[in-house]
Amino acid sequence: MKVLRPIKATDFAALRTIAEESGPGFTSLPVDDEKLQSKITRSEDSFKKPVDCPTDEGYLFVLEDFETKTILGTTAIEAAVGMDTPLYHYYKSKSVHHSKTLNVYNTVEVLTMCNDYTGATEICTLFLRPDFRKGLAGRFLSRSRFLFMADHQSRFSDTVIAEMRGVNDENGHSPFWEWLQDHFFSIDFPVADHLVGLGNKVFIAELMPKHPIYVNLLSEEAQSVIGHVHEKTKPALKLLEKEGFEHRGYVDLFDAGPTVECRMQNIRSIKESKEYPIVIGEARGEVTFAISNQKLADFRATYTKQAIFDESKQELVVTPQVAEALELKNGDSVRFFEL
């Protein structure tokens, strides 16, 4: 059985391994011991902190094999982005150049740097280790965050976003960044990517072009990747699109990957989730349920067929094994949806 839980200090080695395996472009997990340790500490503090509205909290989770205690992956939620360190995006819009006298009408796409998502909640840092990418593990790791958000809605913004990894090759070369580098920078994409992962974003404001960029002036290679995701990110994007997330023109400054958004109340997993008490007993069903114990610092979630929803009795029957993994007793309330 696989269980999602808040990260703790003893998970440092596993988190570092995940950071190494995630590769270039995964800015939220830099291979830097001090930064990774600070992420763990910040997460532990966030889960303990009383919160009425979202500020600077960051919730980091790990997916663990309940029997072997092996860490299989990680995922996270940033409560309100851009409040401390600015969050930059490019917004892709259209500009019309029209001359009635000359009978000329041209429409061109324009990229404008902005901070429009300041204060939004961000779901991020989704990574499942290669050896465990089978079955429903990836889908659960993505959707399980919504169980936690549904249980603790006051901790999050009404607007939820996800920055999707853009196109770059196995060596970390980004066609979009290479155009920016040629005209405005003198550092490679992996270096810029690493600096952002460390929280060093001052150079963005200092060196990024201050005026809108006409897309048709970019190289063909740079134009072709705007709003597109890395090959390995396509499954994650499809999952979010099924949840109701949409791309509305915002892209990453460095690799031009899309940022997608959805109102919290419109997220499918939140809308379809149910809250009922459990009964511990025999339960071998046909449906796989994602189930959370609705707790905060002791949050646990899993996915299993060892559960049956009895609508007539308004209860979820789970096996003793599921109850143990979720640290529940008879009559405790859970939140769940069909995975």
Q: Are residues 57 and 69 in the same domain?
A: yes
User: 94 lies in a domain?
Assistant: no
Last residue in a domain, options 223, 254, 269 = 269
Q: In the predicted model, is pLDDT for residue 42 greater than 90? A: yes
E-assigned strand segments in 148-212:
159-163
CATH label of the domain that carries residue 240: 3.40.630.30
Average pLDDT for the chain: 90
User: 311 lies in a domain?
Assistant: yes
User: 248 lies in a domain?
Assistant: yes
What residues make up the domain containing 287? 273-338
pTM score: 0.89
How far apart are the C-alpha atoms of 81 and 58, rounded to whole Å? 9
Reading the block at residue 180, the tokens are 């920016």
> Strands 58-65 and 71-78: what pairing?
antiparallel
Q: Are residues 262 and 304 in the same domain?
A: no
230 catalytic per annotation: yes
Q: Are residues 160 and 192 in the same domain?
A: yes
| Lowest mean per-residue pLDDT among 139-143, 213-217, 231-235, 262-266 | 231-235
How far apart are the C-alpha atoms of 338 and 324, rounded to whole Å? 20
User: 218 lies in a domain?
Assistant: yes
Share of the chain above pLDDT 90, in %: 67
| Residue of 89, 152, 230, 247 marked catalytic | 230
Greater pLDDT, 186 or 329: 329
Q: Are residues 261 and 277 in the same domain?
A: no
User: 98 lies in a domain?
Assistant: no
How far apart are the C-alpha atoms of 122 and 4, rounded to whole Å? 18
Q: Are residues 258 and 152 in the same domain?
A: yes
Burial of 274 (0-12, 13-18, 19+ CB in 10 A): middle
Reading the block at residue 21, the tokens are 């395996």
Tens of pLDDT, residue by residue over 45-72, are: 999 999 989 999 999 999 999 999 999 9
User: 105 lies in a domain?
Assistant: no
Q: Are residues 196 and 297 in the same domain?
A: no
Last residue in a domain, options 226, 250, 269 = 269
Q: Are residues 164 and 180 in the same domain?
A: yes
User: 109 lies in a domain?
Assistant: no
CATH label of the domain that carries residue 311: 2.40.40.20
Q: Are residues 260 and 329 in the same domain?
A: no
CB neighbours of residue 38 within 10 Å: 13
Q: What angle do CA 20, 26, 32 make, to 5 degrees?
A: 50
Q: Are residues 125 and 167 in the same domain?
A: yes
Q: Are residues 264 and 278 in the same domain?
A: no
Tens of pLDDT, residue by residue over 119-147, are: 999 999 999 998 898 899 999 999 999 99
* Secondary structure of 15-48 as H, E, C letters: HHHHHHHHCCCCCCCCCCHHHHHHHHHHHHHHHH
Last residue in a domain, options 269, 284, 314 = 269
Q: In the predicted model, is pLDDT for residue 100 greater than 80? A: yes
Q: Are residues 299 and 234 in the same domain?
A: no
| Lowest mean per-residue pLDDT among 67-81, 210-224, 254-268 | 210-224
If one counts the domains in the chain, the total is: 2
User: 165 lies in a domain?
Assistant: yes
- Which residues share a beta bridge with 160? 121, 262
What pLDDT score does 205 carry? 63
Q: Are residues 200 and 62 in the same domain?
A: yes
Q: In the predicted model, is pLDDT for residue 210 greater than 90? A: no
